[in-house]
Amino acid sequence: MKQTYKAALSAVFLLSVLVPAYSDHLFLKNGSIIEGKVARETADTVTVRKADGGTETFGRAAVLRILYTKLYMGKLYVHMVDGTVFEAYMVDEDQETYTFRKELYRADEMVVKREDVLYVARKNPTGLNAGAPGLDGVLLKWRPPYNPVRHYRIYARPSNEKEFKMMQKSSKETATLNGLKGNTEYVIRVTAMDREGYESQPSNEIRITTPNFPPSMPAVSDADRTCAPDGRTCSYKISWKPSTDPDGTVKFYRVYRNDRKDFAFIGQTGKTEYVDGNLAPGARYTYTVKAVDDRGKESDGSKAPGPGPSGPGKTVFALTLRPHFIMPVGDFSYLGHGYGFLAGVMTENLLDNGIIFSLETGLTGFAGGDKKMNNSFQVPLLFGAGFRLDVSDGIFLVPSVKLGASFNSICYRGPKYYAFQSVTIKKYSFEPMAQIGLTARYAVDDDLGLDVGLHYGMIPESESFFHFFSLSAGMSYRMDW
């Protein structure tokens, strides 16, 4: 007896799980459809308990039919045996017929024999599935409906919320869903929009849990080196702007140092600055800072700042000296190759990390490509601006533009009165000058840097342009001003 009683309870429990709580549909003669659970029926009335818990009673005369099952509320694609096709909502069926409505909430209906229908297909996407969620989103795939589709709409909601939000559209049966919060379980579904603007019922729903997103990368704002009065030890202070975390909080920062081998962890701090002390004066290091959130996730590392004129951080000045070689091209190749030097001053990080300004002058003499040309020279004065691009530890590329002027002296030796006589003619000019090029720099230590550069330049003359290429190799030395 007890076993029979337990079996009955188990059956009731199983049915309560498998049968939806609100699966009845009451069709009224005015076209309305009431979804709920029939709570009470009499010869004259029908009482329905709705999903919100309230009840409503209807007169029998107003009721068209009652379906004691879950109703698919989407439009269907109906293909007849004779080849005709139409779209409609199925509101009832039996062993011999289907009952359709062209408009779901109007009472106009048509009855079609089952034997006249070849097949019925739903217009909603099916088979929705998702790949593993990542930091760049989650890949979704689904199967299309039978009918042509203009596009798909992707909806999502956090599992603890009721309302779906349309996240994005897709013209294909796949999409990468972005814009989700980290550490959150989402419910996702997809609908199809046909060419007439009808939006289908949703696909199957899936659940995904997004990963923990890392904090933003710390932005280094300042870097400063100080040395003891005796010059035996130095320290390096790095400061950065606070990081933010999209799905949690930033707990602290980890600082790593690289001595041209590998980055190694040297400490952590809850502040936005860190001081690395007891450094050898001539040693060169690079650093990176990473933010850590409340789940232990690290951000990407900041740009590795390091001391010296070639590293980002504090504004520094350096003297430069560069021997260079000039090769005129075009109409001015008669001047021959030029040899000389450039000297000047360079400042880095004056406005922002990595921005470089320079001011330089020099002297270049030309060998004379023509025997009649000799003792020609050039004195430039150039203001330059460039930006440092980190290639590897201690190696940088600096694209730059230089503008200024050049004092030019061209010496020409030509005939006077007879073939055995000659006269020297000198022409002086002060012309604007422009150069554009690329410099590769290697930081030997905190103060000394070696570089090699290739530039293209031009000087506008009265009737043409003086074009040339310049190859330079030199050094820069930091000055603590």
Q: Give the end of a domain, one of 146, 178, 209.
A: 209
User: 470 lies in a domain?
Assistant: yes
* β-pairing verdict for 316-329 and 376-387: unpaired
Q: Does residue 328 sit in the same domain as residue 459? A: yes
Q: What is the mean pLDDT of residues 350-359?
A: 74
Q: Give the end of a domain, one of 71, 104, 135.
A: 71
In the predicted structure, residue 459 carries a pLDDT above the cut 60: yes
Share of the chain above pLDDT 90, in %: 49
Q: How many domains does the chain have?
A: 4
The pLDDT of residue 369 is 60
* Short-list 380, 386, 375, CA closest to 343: 380
User: 10 lies in a domain?
Assistant: no
Taking a C-beta distance cutoff of 8 angstroms, is the pair 184, 253 a contact? no
Which of 229-238, 362-371, 377-386 is modeled with the greatest confidence? Answer: 377-386
What is the tens place of the pLDDT at every residue in 314-333?
566 788 888 988 888 876 66
CA 364 to chain CA centroid, nearest Å = 48
CA 384 to chain CA centroid, nearest Å = 32
Q: Does residue 153 sit in the same domain as residue 62? A: no
Binning pLDDT at 50, 70 and 90, where does residue 1 land?
very low
The pLDDT of residue 202 is 93
CA dist., res. 396 & res. 393, Å (int): 8
The domain in which residue 38 lies consists of: 21-71
* Short-list 246, 292, 236, CA closest to 269: 292
CA distances from 411 to 330, 339, 414, 415, 425 (A): 19, 16, 10, 14, 6
CA dist., res. 208 & res. 177, Å (int): 11
Residue 393 or residue 307, greater confidence:
393
In the predicted structure, residue 340 carries a pLDDT above the cut 60: yes
CA dist., res. 381 & res. 384, Å (int): 10
The pLDDT of residue 237 is 87
Q: Does residue 338 sit in the same domain as residue 467? A: yes
CA dist., res. 211 & res. 133, Å (int): 7
Q: Does residue 228 sit in the same domain as residue 205? A: no
The pLDDT of residue 5 is 40
Share of the chain above pLDDT 70, in %: 82
Q: Does residue 444 sit in the same domain as residue 325? A: yes
Q: What is the mean pLDDT of residues 227-240?
A: 82
User: 5 lies in a domain?
Assistant: no
In the predicted structure, residue 206 carries a pLDDT above the cut 80: yes
Amino acid letter, residue 442: Y
The pLDDT of residue 414 is 56
User: 112 lies in a domain?
Assistant: no
User: 250 lies in a domain?
Assistant: yes
Q: Does residue 231 sit in the same domain as residue 261? A: yes
CA dist., res. 194 & res. 88, Å (int): 14
What is the tens place of the pLDDT at every residue in 84-138?
999 999 999 999 999 999 999 999 999 999 999 999 988 899 999 999 998 889 9
Q: Does residue 239 sit in the same domain as residue 176? A: no
